Amino acid sequence: MTTTETRTITVAHSPDSDDAFMFYALATHKLETGDLDFQHVLEDIQTLNEKAMKGVYDVTAISFHAYAYVADKYALLPHGASIGDNYGPIVVANQELDPSELSKVKIAVPGKLTSAFLALSIYQPNFRYEVVPFDQIIEAVTSGGCDAGLLIHEGQLFYQNLGLHKVLDLGEWWHEHTGGLPLPMGGNAIRRSLGSETINQVSELLKESIQYSLDNREDALAYSMQFARDMDPALADRFVAMWVNDLTLDYGDRGREAVRRLLAEGHERGIIPHPVDIEFAG
C-alpha cells in the first residue's frame, strides 16, 4: 500500500480580522487539502514585506508596493487581495488641513514598503514622514509627535471619535485620478519555485477558503474577532466587509489593471526604481 507524502506549505499573513476571515477555513481545517499541510504564521505586514525579500515563506501576504521588489521570486495569487473600491488609506490630522498642505507637515506612515505609502507618494511626492507601527499612528498624531498620520486598518473607521480630521482618502483620490479604478493595498504571493501544479492547488484552496467564509459569514466573523484589536463585532463586520469583497475572491480585469497602474505610476514617478513585470499565478 502506498502512502502519499504530505508537503508542508508555510502561509504567512497579518494578525488582522480581515486576513483571519479569509484564512478561516484553512486555519481551522474545514477544507480537504489533499497532500498539502498548511502551517500558518502570523506577523505584521512590515515584517512580512521584509521577509518576502528573502523568500522566507511559501505563501505570504504582501503589500503591492513591496511586491515590486520580489516579483522575481513570487507570483501573485489571483485570490485574497485587499482592494478598496473608491475608499482606502486615510490621512488624518489634529486640525483641519487642506491636502495641498501635506508637503509642509510631518506624517506618521506605517512603513515605506506599504501600498499606502506608495499611493501617498504618488499623490504628494514631497513630504516629511516618520515610520510608526500602524497601530500606533493615531497616538503619534493625537500626542503631537506627528502633524498627520496615514491610517490603514481599522483606524479608518473610528478616527472621528478621537477628534481627528480627515485630510484625504487616498482611495477616493485614486478612483478619480484613474477614471474609476480601485486602489489595491495587499495581496497574497506564492513562491515560483513551488512549481505550477502546487501553485494551482494552493490557489484553488485559497479561493475555496475565502468562499467558505463568505458563505459562513457568522462563523468566520466569530473566529476573526480574536484578531479584531478591541473592535466591537459591528465595527469588525464593517472592517471585514471593506477588505473582503468580490475583488478579494478574484481581482477581475479591474483589479489586475489597478495593480499594474499603481506599480507603473510608482515607477514613472521614480519611487520604484525599475518597471515591474506582474504575473498572476494560474
Catalytic (active-site) positions: 153
Strands 36-42 and 7-13: parallel
Alpha-carbon torsion 28, 250, 62, 223, what sign? negative
Residue indicated by cell numbers 511559501? 58
Q: Tell me the chain's radius of gyration from C-alpha atoms.
A: 19
Question: What is the number of other CB atoms lying within 10 angstroms of the CB of residue 33?
Answer: 19
3-state SS, residue 148 = strand
Q: CA–CA separation, 134 vs 110, rounded Å?
A: 5
Any idea how long the chain is? 282
CA proximity to 13, closest of 76, 60, 78, 47: 60
Q: Are the C-beta atoms of residues 130 and 149 closer than 8 Å to each other?
A: no
Greatest CA span in the chain, whole angstroms? 72
Q: What is the DSSP letter of 91?
A: E
CA proximity to 183, closest of 193, 196, 192, 170: 170
Q: Give the start-end residues of each E strand in 100-164.
A: 106-109, 128-131, 148-151
Q: CA–CA separation, 167 vs 97, rounded Å?
A: 6
